[in-house]
Amino acid sequence: MENASGSVLVTGASRGIGRATAIHLASAGMSVFGGVRRPEDRERLEEAVRGRIRGVVLDVTDDASIEAARSQIEAAVGAQGLAGLVNNAGVATPGPLACVTREELEAQFRVNLFGPVLTTKAFVPLLERAKGRIVNIGAANARLAMPLMGVLSATKFALEAITDVLRVELRRTGIRVALVEPGMTYAEADKQAFGDHLLGELDAALERLPEDARLYYAPALERLRALTLSALSRAAPPETVARHVHHALTARRPRARYWCGLDGKAAGLLGRLASPGLRDAVWRRATGL
C-alpha cells in the first residue's frame, strides 16, 4: 500500500459520498481535509472523526476560494505535500435539453467539470511533492446519456475524458489518476431527505417546463420519477464508493476505473458494450419518449 497515512483533500464533503469518503479515509488513518461550502458543515464534519478531519471552506466554482483552500492546506502539509485529491463536488438539475436555460447549463458545468479541472490545477504542485493520487467521482450511467438528465450526463462524460487525459499528462510527475463511477447511492440516515431532494428536483423541472413543452415531456418526467423511486430502493450506501476511493488512493496498482454497486456495474457495462440503437431503445422504453 502507498500513501496510506498521507493527507487527502475531499471536495463536496458536507454530505453523501463526500462525507462518507472523508470519514472512511480518516478512520483508515489518513489526515483528511474536507471541502465544505458552509462553516456549520465544517463543524459537523470535524465532529465525525475528531483529530483526523479538518474542514476547509471550499467553493469549487470560485477561483479565490480554491486558492485560499490551497494556501491553507499547503501551510498544513508543507514539504510532505498532498497524498490525494478526491474531486467529488457535484450538482444535478433534471430537465429536457430543449428547455434548459443558459444559467442551468452553466451552473452544472461550473461545479461538475470546471470545478474538478481548476481544483486539480491548483493542487498539482502539492500532489507532485507526495507523488499523490487524483480520484474523480463520475457516474456509472454517464455513457448512457440519460434522457432528461442530459446536462448531468454531459458533465460526467466530459469528466471521464478529463480523467483519461490527466492520467497520461501527469504520468511523468508520479501522480496517478483514477475515475470512480457510482450508481445511485444514499446515506441511510438521510434516505428520506435524499429521496425528497431528488423528487423535489424532478417536480421543479416539471414546473419549469414551458406550456407548449409540458404535454410532451411531463409524462416522461413522471416516468423518471418512478424510476428514481425504484432505483432509490436498491441504492448502495456511500460507504461502498468510499472503499473504492480508498483503494484508488492507496493500492500499489490502482485501477483506472472503478464501478460501484450492482446498478453502477450494470450501467457501466451497458454504456460501453451496447450499441447506440439498443441504448436508445432502453431509454425509449423507460421514459416513453
Q: Which has more confidence, 47 or 4?
A: 47
Q: Are 175 and 249 in contact (CB under 8 A)?
A: no
If pLDDT is split at 50, 70 and 90, which confidence band does 229 have? confident
Q: SS3 letters for 41-97?
A: HHHHHHHHCCCCEEEEECCCCCHHHHHHHHHHHHHHHHHHCCCEEEECCCCCCCCCH
* Comparison of pLDDT for 10 and 262, the residue scoring more: 10
Sorted by where each begins, the domain ranges of the chain are: 7-188+236-275
pLDDT higher than 90, residue 80: yes
259 confidence band (pLDDT: 50, 70, 90): confident
Region 7-188+236-275: CATH code: 3.40.50.720
**Residue 136 in this model has a pLDDT that exceeds 80:** yes
How many Cα atoms occupy the beta-carbon half-sphere of 88 within 13 Å? Answer: 29
- Is the Cβ–Cβ distance between 19 and 238 less than 8 Å? yes
Per-residue confidence (pLDDT) for residue 189, from 0 to 100: 47
pLDDT greater than 60 at residue 246 = yes
pLDDT surpassing 80 at residue 187: no
Contacts of 159 (CB under 8 A, 6+ apart): 112, 113, 116, 136, 138, 142, 179
- Reported as a single tens digit per residue, the pLDDT across 165-178 is 999 999 999 999 99
pLDDT band per the 50, 70, 90 thresholds, residue 112: very high
Q: What is the DSSP letter of 79?
A: G
